[in-house]
């Protein structure tokens, strides 16, 4: 409304807001916009407002209605682009998957609103389910294949005192935008330096493996389609809301898949040199080679990394363990939730006490 010259000019008994617009060609217009979509006469008052606006602006009532509803709802718009969706259709299986992953994307945003985690597991809380149940699918549009998710600003409320009177919908969509923005920046850094730890910072902004998996699903079962996500907050705060857009191509999706695995502690850091103390020695009976377990730091997390070594390295490791000195070794570090292994190890050596960095 603000973008078409309407301005808020007061309130009517706390039930509606008063809006005016002037024109050099005709008399000034005034409309009353209901303050809440939950009011009993909301539908009737909306019809009156839409008719008045469409007549004054000489625009179709349907077009005006979409814009006025934006006053009460946040809009998340997902546009898929690929040669096979240019006609506005999509294979049915991918269409179903698209809607499921769109819902999962919103679920990831509401879960990370209150708690920031790399990976959310288990059943969704009643609060998350209530928010998801409040969402609506809007009418599809012409232009590739588009899904519109409408998040009404009421009546869902949060028990968090820090949210105060701000509608939960606004907080969730803001968190969604923050997470997508952080993921986009992390992907750019990862493309440059190839270090998965750049995705750590995105968690504090709302990113998670759940968000990553939802984004991957939006590209289709074969991960061949790109897509654009547009987020338009409701206009309740009397300012023209800035539409935020995030574009994901197939190359970006591949990197987001790496981020998802990283968040789930199932990833490989290639050509990684680890330094640490030996926690455990294990060698089968009548076998000269063995496995050592090294305590080391991966980012900010302590990990126990197992390394298979030959006879000579194993004897050096035994001595290092006795003398409580550190060792160094290079390889491809495979980290999972339950274990960490250094694959293709090379350059094993025992460090002197002066070289131990911890």
The domain limits of the chain are 2-69, 73-263, 267-355
The helix (H) or strand (E) run that includes residue 269 is strand 267-282
Residue 312: per-residue pLDDT: 94
267-355 is classed CATH 3.30.450.40: no
Query: Hey, which bits of 159-210 come out as E strands?
Result: none
Residue 45, pLDDT score: 75
Q: Residue length, the chain? A: 358
CB 135 within 8 Å of CB 156: no
- What pLDDT does 157 receive? 43
Mean pLDDT per block of 10 residues along the chain (358 residues) reads: 64 76 71 69 75 79 66 83 87 93 96 92 88 83 79 54 53 93 97 91 96 96 94 63 87 96 90 94 90 90 93 94 94 90 95 64
- pLDDT of res. 26: 65
Which pLDDT value is given to residue 71?
61
Decide: residue 335, CB within 10 A, 0-12 exposed, 13-18 middle, 19+ buried. buried
Q: What is the pTM of this model?
A: 0.69
The region that residue 14 occupies, defined by phi over 0 for left and psi between -120 and 50 for alpha, beta otherwise, is left
**Rounded to an integer, what distance in angstroms lies between the CA atom of residue 120 and that of residue 190?**
23
Contact 258, 267 (CB under 8 A): yes
Is residue 343 within a helix (H) or strand (E), and if so which, with residue range? strand 340-350
Q: Quick count: other Cβ atoms within 10 Å of Cβ 289? A: 13
Give the gyration radius of the chain's Cα atoms: 28
Per-residue confidence (pLDDT) for residue 50, from 0 to 100: 79
Position 356 scores a pLDDT of 52
């Amino acid at each position: 409304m603000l973008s078409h010259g309407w301005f808020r000019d007061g309130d009517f008994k706390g039930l509606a807001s008063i809006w005016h617009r002037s024109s050099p060609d005709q008399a000034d217009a005034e409309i009353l916009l209901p303050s809440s979509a939950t009011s009993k006469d909301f539908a009737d008052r909306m019809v009156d407002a839409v008719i008045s606006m469409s007549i004054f602006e000489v625009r179709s009532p349907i077009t005006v209605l979409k814009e006025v509803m934006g006053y009460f709802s946040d809009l998340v718009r997902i546009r898929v682009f690929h040669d096979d969706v240019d006609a506005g259709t999509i294979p049915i299986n991918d269409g179903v998957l698209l809607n499921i992953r769109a819902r999962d994307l919103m679920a990831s945003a509401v879960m990370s609103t209150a708690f920031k985690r790399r990976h959310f597991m288990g059943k969704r809380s009643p609060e998350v389910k209530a928010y998801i149940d409040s969402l609506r699918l809007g009418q599809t549009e012409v232009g590739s294949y588009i899904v519109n998710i409408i998040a009404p600003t009421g009546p869902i409320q949060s028990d968090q005192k820090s949210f105060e009177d701000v509608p939960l919908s606004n907080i969730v969509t803001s968190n969604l935008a923050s997470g997508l923005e952080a993921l986009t920046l992390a992907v750019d850094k990862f493309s440059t330096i190839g270090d998965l730890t750049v995705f750590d910072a995105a968690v504090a902004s709302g990113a998670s493996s759940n968000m990553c998996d939802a984004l991957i699903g939006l590209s289709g079962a074969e991960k061949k389609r790109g897509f654009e996500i547009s987020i338009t907050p409701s206009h309740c705060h009397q300012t023209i809301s800035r539409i935020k857009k995030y574009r994901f191509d197939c190359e970006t999706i591949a990197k987001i898949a790496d981020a998802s695995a990283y968040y789930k502690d199932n990833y490989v850091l290639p050509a990684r040199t680890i330094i640490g103390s030996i926690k455990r020695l294990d060698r089968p009976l009548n076998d000269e080679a063995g496995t050592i377990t090294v305590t080391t730091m991966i980012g900010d997390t302590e990990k126990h990394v197992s390394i298979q070594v030959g006879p000579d390295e194993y004897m050096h490791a035994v001595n290092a363990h006795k003398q409580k000195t550190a060792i160094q070794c290079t390889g491809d570090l495979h980290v999972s939730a339950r274990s960490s292994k250094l694959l293709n190890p090379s350059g094993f050596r025992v460090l002197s006490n002066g070289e131990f960095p911890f």
